[in-house]
Amino acid sequence: MKHPPYQLRPNKAIDRLLLVEILSIVREKDRSYRYYGLGGPFLEEFRLLSQHFADFPMTSLEANLQTFRRQKFHRCTKNLKLLNQTLSSFLETYTGDERAVFWLDYPDLHPERIQEFQTVLRLVGDDSIVKITLKACHDDLPDELLSRVPAFEWNVGEVCARYLAEFKAKYDAILPPTVTYDQLRRGQFPELLQNILQIAAQRTLPIGCGRAFQPLHSCFYSDHTQMYSLTGVVCRDAAAKEYQRRFANWPVRNLRWANPKRIDVPVLSVKERIFLERHLPEKRPTGRGLRRVLGYNIANGVPASQRQLLQYATFFKYYPYFAKVDVV
């Protein structure tokens, strides 16, 4: 199987480190959690979690046999259990009698992914953390495809309306009532996807059932393609305010289903990062101050450079260091 180099992508790495920080806050009072993830061939988040939480029991679920064999090679800790099975088959026998952390890290977007998210919400024990990552763009929007070919007899409006109708039919039960075609575009789709997951969560844990899905963080970023991530906690209704209090001072929190934050950190040299970190953190980050002290643009023009440097000022604590290592 061909796998993209997720371990070398800074936006994805930041998403992982944000989960580490969430778990650091949650596990301050209770360390009895088990982690479940879809680790892929290199088990990157398992390696990261084992470095930060040495006593953390973890389970990886992998359906592909060859990838499973690669995972055996990359197994990073004795606390990691490797299972050669799908998430859906695992959930058929999962009892949920524990505090768990699930990261449903999908490379795509299908209604079945939302259904698995709902199943996890329904099964996990109180105070469990659930994170879901989904593809947040469409590669086949008809007006974008047709713009590349001669417009013979196409009625673009009709084709787009048909595409929207098919999308509505796929996600009918969990769609906001007034979805438009424009919301399927790259710039707006992460917000729509969050609305879909909010509806899915609220229908799985409706008002009056005694439990709720309290969001903690959401973001979108480029990772070969545009991705969206949502992290929250399944808890008793009475505990939701306690989680809001515990995360109230976390700078990248999303406790009220606000629009997801974009992660789009610039590519900087180690020398540039060391220089810029002397001027961080800023009281009111805008990117202008860092652009001024740097003295040149890192993107096409001043506004784009300031936007990129604002991203760095926001996420510099989580920006990973990559280096070439020569083995002799």
- The whole-model pTM stands at 0.92
Residue 231 phi, psi (nearest 5): -125, 135
Amino acid at 160: C
pLDDT tens by residue, 36-49: 999 999 999 999 99
CATH 3.40.50.150 residue ranges in the chain? 6-137+186-263
- Asked if 194 contacts 206 with a C-beta cutoff of 8 angstroms, the reply is no
**Residue 11: per-residue pLDDT:** 94
**Residue 30: per-residue pLDDT:** 79
Helix ranges (H only) for 147-269 are 156-170, 189-204, 240-246
Structure tokens at 65: 């046999």
CB atoms within 10 A of CB 169: 10
Query: 111, 254, 122, 93: which is closest to 196 by C-alpha?
Result: 111
**Residue 4: per-residue pLDDT:** 44
CATH 3.20.20.150 given to domain 6-137+186-263: no
Q: Provide the 8-state DSSP code for 153.
A: S
**Residue 151: per-residue pLDDT:** 56
pLDDT tens by residue, 193-217: 999 999 999 999 999 999 999 999 9
**Residue 76: per-residue pLDDT:** 93
What is the SS3 assignment for 103? strand
Q: Which helix (H) or strand (E) holds 230?
A: strand 225-236
| Angle, CA of 313, 22 and 290, to the nearest 5° | 0
**Residue 157: per-residue pLDDT:** 87
Tell me which residues of the chain have a pLDDT lower than 50.
Answer: 1-7, 325, 327
